[in-house]
Structure 1
Amino acid sequence: MRREETVDHHIKAAWHAISRMYNQQAAAYDATMAMGFVLLTINAEEGTPATKIAPLMGLEARSLTRLLNTMEERGVIVRKTDALDKRSVRVYLTEEGKQKRDRAKETVLNFNNAIRKEISEEKLNVFFEVIQSIQQVVEKDNINVKAYN
Structure 2
Amino acid sequence: MEKNNCDNIGKYISQIYRKGRIFIGKDLERYNIGKGQFMYLLELYIEDGRNQEELAEVLKIDKGTTARAIKKLEENGFVRREKDENDKRSNRVYLTEEGKGIKDNIFFILNRWDEKMSEQLNKEERELMIKLLKKVCSNINI
Normalized against structure 1, the TM-score is what? 0.76
**Match of residue 127 from structure 2:** 125
**Match of residue 146 from structure 1:** none
Superposition map of 1:128-139 within 5 A: 128-136=130-138, 138-139=140-141
**Match of residue 19 from structure 1:** 21
Q: Flag the structure with larger Rg.
A: 1
**Match of residue 42 from structure 1:** 44
CA RMSD of the aligned region, Å? Answer: 2.5
Higher deviation after alignment, 57-66 or 118-127: 118-127
Higher deviation after alignment, 45-54 or 8-17: 45-54
2:34 aligned to which of 32, 35, 44: 32
Shift of 1:89: 2.1
Q: Report the Cα distance in structure 1 between the residues aligned to 2:15 and 2:48, rounded to whole angstroms.
A: 36
Normalized against structure 2, the TM-score is what? 0.79
Aligned residue pairs, count: 138
Identical aligned pairs, as a percentage?
18
Shift of 1:135: 3.4
Shift of 1:134: 3.3
Q: Could you list the runs of 5+ residues in structure 1 that have no partner in the other structure?
A: 141-149
